[in-house]
Homo-oligomer: A and B are copies of this chain.
Amino acid sequence: MSTPPSLHALIAALKTLPGIGPKSAQRMAFHLMQRDQKGAADLATALNNALGKLKHCSLCNTFAEVDLCDVCSDEKRQHNLLCVVEMPTDLMMLEQTLAFHGLYFVLMGRLSPLDGIGPNDIALQRLLERASDGVVEEVILATNFTTEGEATAHYLAEMLRARGLKVSRIARGMPVGGELEHVDAGTLAQAMLERRSV
């Protein structure tokens, strides 16, 4: 009893999705073919549609279907502030805070030598060009505070400072509403080290 070729190929294709193992891929394939053929057709259409339409904003590098995304084409933003984030989700999170009115640059990744993601695999060169446009005065590094995000920020800071740009990093410390008792020791230590006069 062999699996039909088209089913085998579908399971193999699903298995390449991040976080999907052989068992999950098989379960998904059976589900789609047995209980949700419309879902399968919709997913195929959505994939082809996204492949055809999605590109990157020419200024900030986030996903967009147009040349210039909503944020970059908003003339009321502060064009002298450039905030660097890893992914489009991070940009959206910051937008929700309403605390930043400058522009963004989305790396679409982070330096991760273990995963084979080096400086050429994220949009580093484009960031350097973008930040050197003569209008940007300060680059705010808002990569994650993970090991990889920190290493990326460190690397970017050196390259940007070498070009004479002012570089800053979003602050580390206690979460708003956070209790000392429930915060990890590393965060608390950092909050202590980075204490400010009040």
Chain A residues engaging chain B, CB cutoff 8 angstroms: 1-7, 9-10, 12-14, 16-19, 23-24, 26-37, 39-54, 62-65, 69-71, 87-89, 91-92, 95, 108-109, 181
Contacts and interface: CB of A to CB of B under 8 A. Distances in A.
A108 B33 CA distance: 10
B2 A16 contact: no
A35 to B, nearest CB: 8
A71 B27 CA distance: 22
A46 B4 contact: no
Contact of A33 (B2, B27, B31, B50): B50
A60 B193 CA distance: 66
B33 A13 contact: no
B9 A109 contact: no
A54 B13 contact: no
A46 B9 contact: yes
18 contacts: A1-B62, A1-B71, A1-B92, A5-B53, A6-B52, A6-B53, A7-B50, A10-B47, A13-B43, A14-B46, A17-B43, A19-B27, A33-B50, A34-B109, A35-B109, A41-B51, A43-B43, A43-B47
Contacts of A34: 108-109
A153 B76 CA distance: 67
Contacts of A50: 6-7, 9-10, 29, 32-33, 40
A24 B13 contact: no
Contact of A54 (B6, B39, B49, B69): B6
A14 B29 contact: no
A164 to B, nearest CB: 30
A19 B24 CA distance: 8
A21 to B, nearest CB: 11
A65 to B, nearest CB: 4
B1 A87 contact: no
Nearest to A60: B1
